[in-house]
A and B are shown apart, each in its own frame.
Chain A
Amino acid sequence: MRYSSETVERAVHELSKLPGIGRKSAQRLVFFLLKRPAEDVKILAQALLDLHEKVKYCSICYNITEQDPCHICSDVHRDQSLICVVEEANDVVALEKTGEFKGLYHVLGGAMSPLDGIGPDNLKMRELLTRLTGQVHEIILATNPNTEGEATALYLVKLLRPLELKLTRIARGIPIGADIEYADEITLSRAIEGRVTL
């Protein structure tokens, strides 16, 4: 044991399991928490416990939620004919921040990756197909514009094309505020492919 208290050792050990946190950072966090009022630490502990006790996956879109169906799926004012397919729940948060999208979501829970052995069976693809009833008219593929995200989008296109729905892909290209001069060939060619009429 490195510390005079076994409790401190245990807290350091547990915190160092978090991504990006080594033993030294964990130790700093533990000593910070020791100096905080007991009430603050209790609130933090309760928040962590609630993560597992209260948060679950929506049975329709597989977004994280505390109520099932989630507030997006149960909102009758949203466009029920439009489903935006994303990789992770974080992507829903990012898209919701824009305030531009008024349809529904479907969270796949990752992307296809040949080297990690993640195929279609490991993602919520069959669950997406079961949602495609008569009222859905358009699927927006909003997977990440990287190799895994593109593979997932290509697979979904092959899978969904026979269903005769409108399939769209989010635009890819130059981000706002960037310089064309420094863009790479792939990004530039995607930007030219995805140009829009003004």
Chain B
Amino acid sequence: MALSKTEAIVLRTRRQGETSKILSLYTQHYGRISVMAKGARSIKSRYGGVLEPQTHIGLVFYRYETRELQYLSQAEIISPFAKLHEQLGRMAMAAIPCEMVERNEANGHVNPALFHLLLSTLTVIDGAEKGYRNAVRAFMVRYMEHSGFKPEFAHCRGCGQKQRSDGAFFDFSKGGFVCDACSGTLGEGQKLSAAVLERLHYFLQAPLEKSVQVSVDAAQGREMDRFLLSYMQYHIETLHHLNSIIYLDKIQSTLRIVKPDEQRKQYGDSE
């Protein structure tokens, strides 16, 4: 047992017993770990709001190499991501990268680059005036790169030819688009427009904070989101049916109704 110090993003919390919490954290130096925070839910807990999901914290914990569950000693906030916690849309968006990391990263698998990617994504979702959905898209593309499935959007996987102006078919098994000449044996995939291929390529290359400046219209957004989810799910089984995406769809569909009469109809009178 050793006292260890690191930075972490709180991915998720679960209630434990009367007043404790079990935290799922993605740490800079130890990868994903589970930590017991004794008494964290008590009204006079010294942790207060430190251990809430989607918060960047510094922590000291008792590290037992042979155990799955570690014990928290101290924690303090580094970035509270205040705006992210005050707006429903930002909060729902930030839950997507957190859930992906929580579901797919094995306990103790260390990847400091992924920690920084997650931290940058939450920072952009918290700070951007608009376009923060693109930060989540950029995270997804880069997460596939981190997981060994880097997609190729600029050149044909078969012959290396540059993409054409009318778009191309993205073959999931090949991890990239294929031009007409190389499309003899097409696997599972999706036809992508040139605009979407261009934007996805940009998300993969450009600094993450620049992703929010890219204009994406509604049709391109739908095409991109459908592609990203299908591509991730094709290669990574644990990313099937992400709860955070189902949740985002639910709140978006119900909040589109703004008129009181229609609200009552939607929620009450229709039954």
Give chain A's interface residues, CB within 8 Å of chain B.
Answer: 20, 112-121, 125-127, 129-130, 132, 145-147, 150-151, 154-155, 158-159, 162-164, 175, 177-178, 182-187, 189-190
Q: Chain B residues near A159: list those with CB within 8 A.
A: 254-255, 263
CB–CB B264/A130 < 8 A: yes
CB–CB B250/A119 < 8 A: yes
CB–CB A114/B88 < 8 A: no
Give the docked Cα–Cα distance between A154 and B263 (Å): 16
**Sample of 7 A–B contacts (CB below 8 Å):** A115-B244, A119-B246, A125-B267, A126-B266, A127-B268, A130-B264, A154-B87
Q: Chain B residues near A147: list those with CB within 8 A.
A: 52-54, 85, 91
The majority secondary structure among interface residues of chain A is helix
Q: Chain B residues near A187: list those with CB within 8 A.
A: 48-49
CB–CB B258/A186 < 8 A: no
Q: Tell me the smallest distance from the CB of B168 to a CB of chain A, in Å.
A: 34
Number of contacts between A and B (CB, 8 Å)?
Answer: 112
Most buried by B among A127, A154, A183, A187: A154
B44 at the A interface (CB under 8 A): yes
Q: Which residue of B lies closest to A161 (CB)?
A: B258
CB–CB A115/B95 < 8 A: yes
Known: A117-B243, A126-B268. A155 touches B88 (CB 8 A): yes
Contacts A186-B80, A187-B48 known; 9 new A-B pairs at CB < 8 A: A116-B243, A118-B247, A121-B254, A126-B267, A129-B264, A151-B88, A163-B260, A182-B46, A183-B48
